[in-house]
Structure 1
Amino acid sequence: MGFLSFERYLTATETTAGAIDPEEQNTDYESGRVEIDGQWWRIRTARITPTKPGAFVAVWRRNAAGETEPFTDTDACVGLLVFVTDTNAGTDADRHGVFAFTREHLAQLRITEQTGTASTPRRQGKRGFRVYPGWCTGLNPQASRMQRAQLPAFREFGR
């Protein structure tokens, strides 16, 4: 499996990383784990869909029983890097970006499952979600709210 988006990111940002540990699940999304600056990150490449703005990314794993489940707020990785490419920018060059969602940001967005405590209830996470890069326009109100919530994690890194 190739990790073209991640390799493009490393080159454009002059970031160094350890070897990628590919994940068996979600191979269509270039899924894996990688160590960057001594911290482990999950990586995914979001897929552009033809009928909706933004891009979709799957973020689940299989448990011991073989069932799919969302990642939890206690996951060993510090966050999730989601790479996105806009091939319809109307120019000769594609646009590339990355969302660097921390574990805490994923919890705020209700992507990860909240394990719960005595004072907070357990909350189910998501197995996939849409990302809306800064270049996405004309969004409906719900997508606009999600874009505003996601934008602090977004960085465009190339055309």
Structure 2
Amino acid sequence: MDDFYEVLTYVNDNFYKPNNLMIKDIQEEIQNEKYGSGIFRINSKTVRFRVARKTPKKIGQFVVCWEKGSDNKNQAYSYENATDLLVINTFGNNHKFGQFIFPKDVLLRHNILKTDTSNGKMAIRVYPSWDTLTSKQAIATQRWQLPYFINLNHTSSLQELGKYFEEDADIL
């Protein structure tokens, strides 16, 4: 499942609405449509929404995070223009589903967003909790990512979801 509206409807019906999280101002991002891309608002938080894709030869899932610059070339998202949250949806075998919910300051700390001193990254690989890794780099990446991962197959995790979208959320 990687169509923006299909995944957003699934997430909204099964997770956001039941937790009283109301989506507003929905816009699909055509330039990254292969990754179920869009932007919306929940409460006062702006959200950039993506669907990560499995790749045939590597563990983890791949997702793009770029926009067209003023010169019409692809570039990493800038910190100044970034949404409050980057939500990356991940699907695994046996109906596994989860979301990485990265605040923009976390993305800045890991050099994913473009600044005056960093080019940022136009794509990243994410490692859900169900991935078993062997590469030292992948293990280190998963280690910093997991605090921002919610395994939505566990009902106990659903309560965590709302904390990211609260007005004064400070999830760093």
Task: Verify same fold: TM over 0.5.
Answer: yes
Normalising to structure 2: TM-score of the pair? Answer: 0.80
1:106-145 equivalence runs, <5 A: 106-115=107-116, 122-145=117-140
Q: Deviations along 1:4-58, whole A, 9 cap, x unmatched?
A: 2332222232232114201121110011101111221111100011111110000
- 2:11 maps to which residue? 9
How many angstroms apart in 1 are the aligned matches of 2:28 and 2:40?
9
Relative to structure 1, is the Cα distance of residues 8 and 158 closer, same or farther in structure 2, using a 3 angstrom cutoff? farther
Matched residue pairs, number? Answer: 148
Bigger CA drift: 123-132 or 134-143? Answer: 134-143
- 1:105 maps to which residue? 106
- 1:119 maps to which residue? none
How many angstroms apart in 1 are the aligned matches of 2:5 and 2:153?
17
Q: Check whether the contact 1:31–1:42 (CA below 8 A) recurs between aligned residues.
A: yes
Letter matched to residue 96 of structure 1:
F
1:73 CA drift (Å): 1.4
How many angstroms apart in 1 are the aligned matches of 2:114 and 2:4?
29
Q: Which has the higher helix share?
A: 2
1:82 CA drift (Å): 0.4
Letter matched to residue 111 of structure 2:
R
Normalising to structure 1: TM-score of the pair? Answer: 0.86
For the residue of structure 2 that corresponds to 1:26, the secondary structure is: helix
Q: Check whether the contact 1:97–1:133 (CA below 8 A) recurs between aligned residues.
A: yes
Unpaired runs of 5+ in structure 2?
155-172
- Does residue 153 of structure 1 match 2:151? no
Aligned-residue RMSD, C-alpha: 1.6
1:53-92 equivalence runs, <5 A: 53-86=59-92, 88=93
How many angstroms apart in 2 are the aligned matches of 1:56 and 1:29?
9
